[in-house]
Amino acid sequence: MTVPGLLRLRARQRGDAPLLRVGGEWSSYRRTEERAARAAAALAARGIHGGDRVAALCGNRIELVELFLGCAWLGAVLVPLNTALRGTSLREPLRRARASALLVEPALLGHVLAVTGELGPLPLWLLDGPSAGPTSTGPDFGAGAANAEVEVEVEAAPDPAEHDPLPPVELDPGDPVAILFTSGTTGPSRGVCCPHGQLVQWGHTVGRALALGPTDVLHTSLPLFHTNALNAFLQAIVAGAGFSVGGRFSASRFFADAADAGATVTYLLGAMVNMVLAQPPGERDRAHQVTRALAPASPPALCGPFAERFGVTLLDGFGTTETNLVLGGSISTVGQVPPGSLGRVVDGFAARVVDPHGIDLPAGEPGELLVRTELPHAFATGYWDDPEHTARRFRDGWFHTGDRVVRDAEGWFRFVDRIKDVIRRRGENVSGYEVEQVLLRHPAVADAAVFAVPSDLAEDEVMAVLVPAPGARLDLAELLDHCAGELPYFAVPRYLETAAELPLTATGKVRKEQLRATGVTARTWDRERRA
């Protein structure tokens, strides 16, 4: 029930079986355990102790995996940061984490130096960098550094190979192993305190859902600062399987990379399904061994075409950085799940649907999803240095998700929208998610985002930004006729706009706050003013 305990157990059982592939080279279970113990020694030599936070700003590299394992070995806490953070969005999590050191890639050092003057002393460990010495900001360190006038000590990143292995410290499954800062798409980013037991439980719950075993190879191109990719590593260790980490997600290379890894299982989020399916058909569509994928928030209308084209079954489910796989099914029962369903409550968890006053709602009535766990240490312990928000979200024994769902009479849950994304038009609640699903069923639409913009009268108007399918001509008037045939009148978008792509976070979530802030422009098509 701790990361070191689980890895040591599997290393004894699996020995030289392949566990970890980053950058094309496989490392065995035994070798990975040894590197973890050496990484812990390297951190200890730099003065890192149990409870210390060690931040990281780098892509999917072996050094980041070893930093995670080394921290876990020592009882320290990894704080992996989104590599897209800049300025205030980078300074704030660094300030709140109060990290003892920051591991950083050279290409991102300039962005760090631009904010370190406001953070106080922060040792910087540079990957592929100098042995040691003072440095200052300048053009050689990339964008964001030009206006900073600070001098900091930059050291070479710790090298596990230079140290003898250390035994792991004694840990409790409730001890923190990582602080994962959420993407902040609906508010400020907050650090979720993830204990060892939560990551191990993720390995068990998703492992059962995907029917993982020692012959599987799990491949991800999602970033390791995100809970999905980090949990996939634990899924592999729980199952005794292999785990391959790719570079940044590319729709055109997705299955080629999976085939190169020998993957049997992979991972997709939301818009990624659209993006892969939008690629031109080719010989690589079936030239791989992938049979199943965990793909939360997949558009229901695309699951069938995806399976037919690529031979890959998509499994939906519900879990957050704070929780676990609390709603879902299993890969063997996908055909029994109603289209668009998140699944049923997973064993070991409980769920409720409530109104704004916390009163349980009957089947068929949309409300907020509340969840709790009966499994030890399966949820996060709260938000780092934010007791107010922790008390608000974790209260009365339940985690308040902020998501609106509907539960039917058979216990299947369907996502409606984020409570903060609810559109109120003409006295009716409109689900942006449901409007998006209708738009995505049109053959000329590759992707869509629906959100509220201010109305001239009161409440909201419905706006949609659309990405046309490759080679398609998008007739907006005809698209509205398509919507009118499938949606109530009050949910049909008033405003439409096309774009080459939607603004996404590094984990594939649409940045609706950015779209809302832009709102209606001179380029926007208004159905109430069309000829």
The stretches of 75-181 forming alpha helices (DSSP H) are 87-97, 109-116
Of 500, 446, 466, 464, whose CA–CA distance to 275 is shortest?
Answer: 446
Average pLDDT value over all residues in the chain: 90
In the structure, what pLDDT confidence band is assigned to residue 88 with cuts at 50, 70 and 90?
A: confident
CATH level 2 (architecture), domain 330-418: Roll (2.30)
In the structure, what pLDDT confidence band is assigned to residue 458 with cuts at 50, 70 and 90?
A: low
Position 502 scores a pLDDT of 92
Tell me if domain 16-171 and domain 330-418 are identical in fold.
no
Element counts in the chain: helices (H) and strands (E): 14, 30
Neighbours of 410 (CB within 10 A): 9
Give the three-class secondary structure for 224.
coil
Question: What value does the mean pLDDT take over residues 508-520?
Answer: 86
Question: pLDDT of 291-337, one tens digit each?
Answer: 999 999 888 888 999 999 999 999 999 999 999 999 999 998 888 88
When the candidates are 2.60.40.10, 3.40.50.2000, 1.10.10.10, 3.40.50.980, the CATH number that belongs to 16-171 is 3.40.50.980
Best-predicted range by mean pLDDT (135-139, 188-192, 448-452): 448-452
Can you identify the CATH homologous superfamily of domain 422-529?
Answer: ANL, C-terminal domain (3.30.300.30)
pLDDT at 478 over 70: yes
The per-residue DSSP string of 473-491 comes to ---HHHHHHHHHTTS-GGG
For the chain, the domains span 16-171, 330-418, 422-529
**DSSP strands (E only) in 107-261:** 124-126, 134-136, 151-156, 176-181, 191-195, 217-220, 242-245
pLDDT at 506 over 90: no
